[in-house]
Amino acid sequence: MSYNLSKFCTCTDLKCPLHPTNHDRGCSPCIASNLKDREIPSCFFNLADPDGTREEYHFEDFAEAVIKSGK
Ligand code: SF4
């Protein structure tokens, strides 16, 4: 049985084993993976640039998304 501790998650990649609907550890696995790879979780991209398309999730890509969104 799994519990979604992060109901606020806007990540749409439900097949990802790190997605909070696929285990009972909330954001922890996602954050740990992002930290290891110097990436930003998709929930931050979805907030900063909801209409953007993205291939990469590195710090630099997030900075570009924020600047591009103009917010
Ligand atoms: S950190 Fe990861 S698991 Fe948590 S809300 Fe953001 S995308 Fe979802």
> Which segments in the chain show pLDDT lower than 70?
1-2, 71
Over the stretch 39-53, which tens digit does the pLDDT of each residue have?
A: 999 999 999 999 888
Q: How many domains does the chain have?
A: 1
* Residue 1: inside a domain: no
Residue 1 is predicted with a pLDDT of 56
- Total-model pTM: 0.90
Is the CB of 16 inside a 6 Å radius of any atom of ligand 1? Answer: no
Distance CA 26, CA 2 (A): 10
- One-letter amino acid at 36 equals K
Ligand 1 nearest atom to the CA of residue 30, by list position? 2
Is the CB of 40 inside a 6 Å radius of any atom of ligand 1? Answer: no
* Residue 6: inside a domain: no
Is the CB of 33 inside a 6 Å radius of any atom of ligand 1? Answer: no
Which one-letter DSSP state was computed for residue 64?
H
Residue 2 is predicted with a pLDDT of 61
Residue 69 is predicted with a pLDDT of 87
Residue 71 is predicted with a pLDDT of 67
* Residue 50: inside a domain: yes
